[in-house]
Amino acid sequence: MSAARITVFGAGAWGTALAQAFAEMHEVRLWARDPAQIEDIARSRENRRYLPGLALNEALRLEPDFAAAAADADLHLVATPLAGLRGTLRGLRMLQPGTPMLWACKGLEAGSGKLPHEIVSEEFGAEAACGALTGPSFAAEVARGLPTAITLAAADRGFAEHWVGLLHKRRLRIYANTDVAGCEVGGAVKNVIAIAAGVSDGMSFGHNARAALITRGLAEIARLGRALGAQTETLMGLAGMGDLILTCTGDLSRNRRVGLALAAGKTLDDILRELGQVAEGVSTAREVVALAARLGVEMPICATVDGMLHRGLDAGLAVERLLARDPKHE
């Protein structure tokens, strides 16, 4: 297998973890919006803000200049928060519009409610050589080389299989998929359900309640996914059920931590300030509810989370409302 020149845009936890993983086999550059952050990482060989204690591969190149980072790459991998995706794409369109691209952001764009592939299509056109990298993956575990399985989804099967062949590792197993919308719906909505799971755990409702939330949350994901043309098999796989289970149960989940803090009575502003990182479920909740309303899809858990986050709904009352819903066929 030949080495590829890969540039990772975004030096948060996930971007750094992917850069670290791929630097074992490929020539990898890592860029961040803040030059001071990149300089600190280059000097210490450690991302002290997002992945403290992890010694970075000496072969990983830190690049503060956007144009230099983009130049001569075989693959651009955008790992910014979703809010940074469109701006990064516009910069790349000016410099290297034909370079193959993957994105590793999850969610729905604030204001537009668009999935990442829709943003990419608007900025690069429907025929762009591109795909999504998604699935159940905590950055800290990927960076440490712990076994992980994720999905590379692209409308072009040949593109997906080509890059799976180049990027797949023994401890970072990557599976090709052509259902981009399904993979992205799973990756977006699971963050909202994880906030609900965190609230449930924070109120000591137990494992039974968490299992019910995960199961009914998966049903909501499936309903929205089908309305957007997703395949049921995708939503039962890594990018759907797998990502949902991890995010709802793992202590490393930022969205679950948001729910725990809501249950403790903290305000959203305080929660986000203490978190210090983006929790995509916070903004995605509002967009998911709006999208579901436009499509006529019932998503009561997501609506309840939106109420807690953005409409002043008390966490205890929110849970009581969910429990008080009339029984239905599963």
**What is the tens place of the pLDDT at every residue in 5-47?**
999 999 999 999 999 999 999 999 999 999 999 999 999 999 9
**What is the tens place of the pLDDT at every residue in 172-200?**
999 999 999 999 999 999 999 999 999 99
User: How confident is the model at residue 311, as a pLDDT?
Assistant: 93
Q: Give the global pTM.
A: 0.95
Band (141; pLDDT cuts 50, 70, 90): very high
User: How confident is the model at residue 319, as a pLDDT?
Assistant: 78
Among the listed residues 106, 114, 169, 190, the single catalytic one is 190
User: Average pLDDT over the chain, rounded to whole?
Assistant: 95
**What is the tens place of the pLDDT at every residue in 253-298?**
999 999 999 999 999 999 999 998 889 999 999 999 999 999 999 9
User: How confident is the model at residue 37, as a pLDDT?
Assistant: 95
* Residue 81 predicted with pLDDT over 70: yes
Distances (CA, A) of 14 to 17, 26, 76, 77, 242: 5, 17, 15, 11, 18
Domain extents in the chain: 5-178, 181-323
Cβ-in-10-Å burial (0-12, 13-18, 19+) of 286 comes to buried
* Closest C-alpha among 119, 120, 149, 121 to residue 136: 149
- In this structure, how many other beta carbons lie within 10 angstroms of the beta carbon of residue 210? 18
User: How confident is the model at residue 320, as a pLDDT?
Assistant: 76
* Residue 62 predicted with pLDDT over 80: yes
Task: Tell me what percent of the residues of the chain surpass a pLDDT of 90.
Answer: 93
Of 1.10.1040.10, 3.40.720.10, 3.30.230.10, 3.40.220.10, the CATH number of 181-323 is 1.10.1040.10
User: How confident is the model at residue 328, as a pLDDT?
Assistant: 75
190 as an active site residue: the answer is yes
Which two tokens mark 245? 């289970």
CATH 2.60.120.200 fits 5-178, yes or no: no
